[in-house]
Amino acid sequence: MAAPPGTRLAHTPDRGGGRSVFATRSYRPGDVIATFGKPILALPDGPNMRTTCNYCLTVQNPDGKPLRACTSCKAAVYCNPTCQRAHWKSIHKSECKLFIRVREGVGKDWVPTPTRAVAQVLMLLRAGDPATIAALGDDGSLVGNTEAFKKDTKIWSDYEMLAMAAVVYGGLVESEETLRRAEEILCKIQTNAFDRLDADTGMSGIFLDAGLSMINHSCIPNAFIGFDKRVATLRAERTIEEGDEIRISYIDHTLPKMARQEGLRLYHFQCDCPRCKDDLDVYQVCASSPAVPLNALSLQPDLARLRNPPVDRSKLSAAKVEVIYKAWHSPAMSEGGSKIAQQRWKLCKQLVEARMWAVEPLPASIHEVALICQENSWTWAYALPLWCFLATECEPFRLVAPFMPWRMKGVVMIAKCLSESARQTATGELARNCPHKGLVDILARNDQVTMCEALIRLLVHDAAMGAAAGWDIAIQAREMLQDIEHLDGRENESALIQAWVKNPEDPQANAFFRYAVLKPITELAALAIQIMDAELWASRTLPLVRR
């Protein structure tokens, strides 16, 4: 197997499968290491296959043109005839009948993602596709951990069913041997494919590329992957020196250890990274991260605080955090809605007292409430302090590089709230409708358009390091910037913000950023805990219900 340019494959017996990817040159944070544009598998999740182009994987814009369905199976949909033709040629001419059989058999117009993926691989093998044979054929290169999966009876019985469905509906029943092969393929897909999940953009599905799947895991990764249509981009998250092993995270590595181990269970290895070995929390990992200086250009430019956060670990052990995390995620708490959100927040009390704001599940609790607030015309303004708190006190400690997509999304949320609050402040609506006078006052005293411009310029800067040009968030940021650039009479403010993005050390630009942007954002963030503790739940005028 050839390694991507700029990397080499090496034999490493201590890693399952025995291979690892090493850098053959150095990379700075945000550098593209390699792109992968010829996946063996790239498909949307089953339930989303009617709202996602089945070839280029673009999610349908609810206000846009409807997607066109395949006239034969009527299940696969496409954004245009070019995508439809490309998909037909690459796989759909073989899989089209699968959907017809499924509709006739069980009356559904989609199949579970793993079933469709296994059927596609079996069809590609039958057609003699060289890349699929090399990776997933009988002597294929990908590791599957099949024997380990078989030991987990619950998982294995699901896998047997999913593989059987692929063989039956794919019209591939040839022998018992085909079924065994389908099960092994499913294990290999589980071990090597990537989840394209991005809840905000509606992106979902799986992506399998044999080169990309050579990269091992670490809970302190030095690289990360972003997806844009049928292309995956591998980028450096922190500085990588020539000779370093390139490692990504297969899971949300900011979760407590027990939750990480649960996520890694499907990969059948013991993680040996320092986060796992010494059970470090997010603050400890952040404090020693070489990526901390990147935050000079961020909403948490206090590098000393990132290196030495004011948390009080004596109040809360790692074991107690795991108990809180488990209770927060217990089935009794899975209903969603405002009542559960309130109960979940109560579980976070000890994390608040220990000032361990960046430790999950506290950020998840605030995020959940911010989304509920935003859905409701009475409470949307409350979302702003919550997003500000997440962007200043939680996310920088969890994901140290400011260009990480999750951090950029948090900044977008603040910018969106500010563009609405700026309008409502100007018309007086905010003062009339929002009962939180402190919040209204901070907004009235500050130039929200300047705040918004700074955030968007920050996003445009970070997107160049962390996101594909076609990423929705990057597109939204560029569009919002165009709107702001059309406003008259803002030349001085705009020049200072641009000078700050160019050089955050520039004394005049830095002072302006601190006064005009950071100060109000910090003041808004300071309201968050009180809002979470009392304001939202106490006020009868602000019922936290979804309307």
Ligand X SMILES: C[S@@+](CC[C@H](N)C(=O)[O-])C[C@H]1O[C@@H](n2cnc3c(N)ncnc32)[C@H](O)[C@@H]1O
Q: What residues line the site for ligand X (CB under 6 A)?
A: 15-20, 143, 145, 191-192, 213-214, 216-218, 267-269, 271-272
- C-alpha 169/C-alpha 110 separation (Å) is 11
- Kindly report the number of other CB atoms within 10 A of residue 473's CB atom: 19
Q: What angle do CA 323, 329, 333 make, to 5 degrees?
A: 115
Among residues 4 and 30, whose Cβ is nearest to ligand X?
4
Beta-strand relationship, 41-43 and 206-208? antiparallel
**Structure-block tokens of residue 176:** 């018992």
In the complex, minimum distance from the CB of residue 252 to ligand X, in angstroms, rounded to a whole number: 16
In the complex, minimum distance from the CB of residue 225 to ligand X, in angstroms, rounded to a whole number: 12
Among residues 148 and 526, whose Cβ is nearest to ligand X?
148
In the complex, minimum distance from the CB of residue 214 to ligand X, in angstroms, rounded to a whole number: 5
In the complex, minimum distance from the CB of residue 19 to ligand X, in angstroms, rounded to a whole number: 3
In the complex, minimum distance from the CB of residue 318 to ligand X, in angstroms, rounded to a whole number: 21
Integer CA distances (angstroms), 394 to 283, 300, 361, 406, in order = 10, 10, 11, 12
- Kindly report the number of other CB atoms within 10 A of residue 69's CB atom: 16
In the complex, minimum distance from the CB of residue 402 to ligand X, in angstroms, rounded to a whole number: 26
In the complex, minimum distance from the CB of residue 216 to ligand X, in angstroms, rounded to a whole number: 3
Among residues 117 and 356, whose Cβ is nearest to ligand X?
117
402 touches 297 (CB < 8 A): yes
DSSP symbol at 508? H
DSSP symbol at 244? P
100 touches 72 (CB < 8 A): yes
- C-alpha 174/C-alpha 420 separation (Å) is 60
- For the chain, what is the largest distance between any 2 Cα atoms, rounded to a whole number of angstroms? 75
In the complex, minimum distance from the CB of residue 200 to ligand X, in angstroms, rounded to a whole number: 26
- C-alpha 187/C-alpha 136 separation (Å) is 10
Among residues 7 and 192, whose Cβ is nearest to ligand X?
192
- C-alpha 470/C-alpha 56 separation (Å) is 12
Among residues 14 and 104, whose Cβ is nearest to ligand X?
14
In the complex, minimum distance from the CB of residue 155 to ligand X, in angstroms, rounded to a whole number: 14
Among residues 270 and 377, whose Cβ is nearest to ligand X?
270
Closest CA to 248 of 266, 225, 276: 225
- Give me the torsion for CA of 133, 135, 138, 142, rounded to 10°: 180
Among residues 16 and 263, whose Cβ is nearest to ligand X?
16
List beta partners, residue 198. 203
Within 8 A by CB and 6+ apart from 101, the residues are 169, 171
**Structure-block tokens of residue 448:** 């929200």
Q: Closest-CB residue for ligand X?
A: 16
- C-alpha 175/C-alpha 348 separation (Å) is 54
Among residues 84 and 249, whose Cβ is nearest to ligand X?
249
- C-alpha 323/C-alpha 347 separation (Å) is 10
Among residues 269 and 378, whose Cβ is nearest to ligand X?
269
In the complex, minimum distance from the CB of residue 6 to ligand X, in angstroms, rounded to a whole number: 18
